[in-house]
Amino acid sequence: MKSNWFTFCVLLLQLLMLVAATSSSKSLNIGKPNNMVPKLLPPQAYLSFSHYHSSCPDLEAIIHRRLQAWFNKDYTLAASLIRLHFHDCAVRGCDASILLNSRGSERSAEASKTLRGYSVIDDIKKQIEIKCPKTVSCADILTVAAREATVRVGGPFWEVPFGRKDGKISIDREANRIVPQGYENVTTLIKLFESLGLNELDLVILSGSHTIGRSNCQAIQNRFYNFNGTRRPDPSLDTNYLKTLKTKCSKANNIVDLDGTTPRTFDVAYYNNLKKKMGLLSTDQSLYSNERTTNFVELFASQPSLFYDQFAVSMVKLGNVGVLTRPNEGEIRSNCNFVNRY
């Protein structure tokens, strides 16, 4: 009873303080009409879980069915779709600009040459257009596809808010300038994430998506023989792991797993690999050697459930980056490859 009475008193005090503050602010607004102008809500505030409830109620079911069919044919598409989503959001926000297929677009950039999954999104969009024409954006489809891909490999589920619109601008130079290529230092990565409204925690968490996926050997060969012009291997690579990679990467176009221990499983092996100097990309390994991020690596390596839960939180944040939601922004493409002609 005492606890309930104390809680009641605290709530009553907070209510009285709120009323007093409101009355005070109203009195200060007298004769100052500018203070009464409502602040513009951030773009992500216009997203909604119920956005398609009436206009396309079967949306998520359609996406789920088509993705399961694709994953059953090629499980590696799961990692590819997560990566495609990140590349999209990193440049101009989550507006499906990476999907535009034209000369000089992000899709044609050097930074995008190993991206996959375009046909998957096209297939899903085609099915949705049959059921809900001119209703669902490609940006929303790609965002849900990244969630479904995560779940398929054993990662967490999260609700995706809808209402993104598709961008009309896509420039290859921007992708080449912005998207990480696997050799950047931690400072550069942190600055990129801060520009997206993300932080150091999000950087380490989202890098954990490398618990699945693959890389071509060309991206890492500089670590084998002439790291940073030293004519020696990268000292942050475990010697036995280095030997293994040299064998697997006898040709530059060979493919190697990002996670050298459990490449098909969504788990914390990625972080434990970093502690063993087994990060495939130098950007990955630097997360453990840099004092600003090493504690996060240690934390997630020892707390799988924390990584699991926080990954969902950070993916929601990523999916909200730079979204186009206002009436004068973007469009709903009929074909994800091209801007509308009408």
Q: Distance between CA 121 and CA 93 in Å, rounded?
A: 18
Tell me which DSSP letter residue 86 carries.
Answer: H
What parts of the chain have a pLDDT lower than 50? 1-34, 37
Active site residues: 87
Contact of 138 with 335, CB cutoff 8 Å: no
What is the sign, positive or negative, of the torsion defined by CA atoms of 134, 140, 144, 145? positive
Tell me which DSSP letter residue 136 carries.
Answer: S
Q: Distance between CA 256 and CA 265 in Å, rounded?
A: 15
Tell me which DSSP letter residue 41 carries.
Answer: P
Specify the residue for token string 């602010």: 25
pLDDT, position 252 = 86
Give the Cβ contact number of residue 276 at 10 Å: 14
pLDDT, position 183 = 87
Annotated binding site for Ca(2+): 88, 91, 93, 95, 97, 106, 211, 259, 262, 267
Contact of 174 with 332, CB cutoff 8 Å: no
Annotated binding site: 88, 91, 93, 95, 97, 106, 180, 210-211, 259, 262, 267
Give the three-class secondary structure for 147: helix
Give the Cβ contact number of residue 157 at 10 Å: 10
Q: Distance between CA 183 and CA 301 in Å, rounded?
A: 23
List beta partners, residue 255: 216
pLDDT, position 313 = 98
pLDDT, position 39 = 66
The runs of H, that is alpha helices, within the chain are 2-28, 59-73, 77-90, 118-131, 138-152, 172-178, 186-195, 200-207, 222-225, 239-248, 269-275, 282-289, 294-302, 304-319
Q: How far are the Cα atoms of 78, 260, 308 from residue 203, in angstroms, in the given order?
A: 20, 21, 15
pLDDT, position 18 = 42
Minimal CA–CA distance to 162: which of 64, 43, 51?
Answer: 51
**pLDDT (tens digit, 9 = 90+) per residue, 260-299?**
999 999 999 999 999 999 999 999 999 999 999 999 999 9
**pLDDT (tens digit, 9 = 90+) per residue, 106-155?**
999 999 999 999 999 999 999 999 999 999 999 999 999 999 999 999 99
